[in-house]
Homo-oligomer: A and B are copies of this chain.
Amino acid sequence: MPNDPPRAAPDYEPTTLGFALLGLLRDRPQTGYEIRRIFAETPMGTYSSSPGTIYPALKRLQEAGLVTRVPKKADGTRQNLALTQAGHTCLLAWLQRPVAAGDVEKHYDELMLRFAFMNDEVNDATRLRFLRDLGKELKAWLNRLHDYLKSHGCELPLNGRLALGNGIAEVTARLHWARRAYEIIRKTSRRPADCSNASTRERCRKRTDAT
């Protein structure tokens, strides 16, 4: 006898795009078009390409019971999309997932998406653990690349070596970022103040510079 709302598919695993949609809908209910605009106009565009991708993904999330349609606030005519309880749970579980070995090489974009969506619902310990594990994995990867360059560098043609150097530079940048971000969160963890009160301007600028 079915009693749960729209009969959620029990073990549906959203794709990276799916999680991006869940994260955006957690901020506030939105229409598919508004979400499209976000992808089109912000750096989140990395995670999608065109309406032909977004709408089917939203449909899948609805079929999985993670998203529902709700009437818009005032008029009620327009249909908005919002997270269900199951969708919220699914998102939170994803945000707390540990950094798996190999994620850093194959799914770095998903890791960054995850970090970007770790808001106040996730405590600082989780954030710090994420960054610490991320740093470990990045460091290990960087070591592998350095080892390869050391042992096979002279067999490679110039361009191959340079391309490898690009990879090393990239992973190095990520590693430095992870360590900086760790320190920033560790420091702000003591005095939990957000970016919405009076004396925020300077701190915000300071954080901004600390990219």
Contact = CB atoms under 8 A, between A and B. Distances in A.
B149 A211 contact: yes
Contacts of A173: 169-170, 172-173
A127 interface: yes
B207 A161 contact: yes
B43 A145 contact: yes
Nearest to A122: B159
Contacts of A113: 163
Given A153-B204, A170-B174, A117 B159 contact: yes
Contacts of A119: 157, 159
A169 to B, nearest CB: 5
Nearest to A166: B177
A112 B162 CA distance: 9
Interface string A93-106: 00000000000011
Contact of A184 (B162, B176, B177, B188): B162
- Copy count, this protein chain: 2
The secondary structure that dominates the A interface is: helix
Nearest to A112: B163
Interface in A52-67: none
Contact of A116 (B115, B150, B163): B163
B181 A174 contact: no
Contacts of A188: 158
A151 to B, nearest CB: 10
B154 A195 contact: yes
Given A154-B200, A158-B194, A166-B211, 12 more contacts: A45-B105, A46-B106, A113-B163, A115-B159, A117-B159, A149-B211, A154-B208, A157-B194, A158-B195, A169-B177, A170-B173, A170-B177
**Pairs A-B, 5 closest by C-beta atoms:** A165-B211, A116-B163, A173-B173, A169-B173, A169-B177
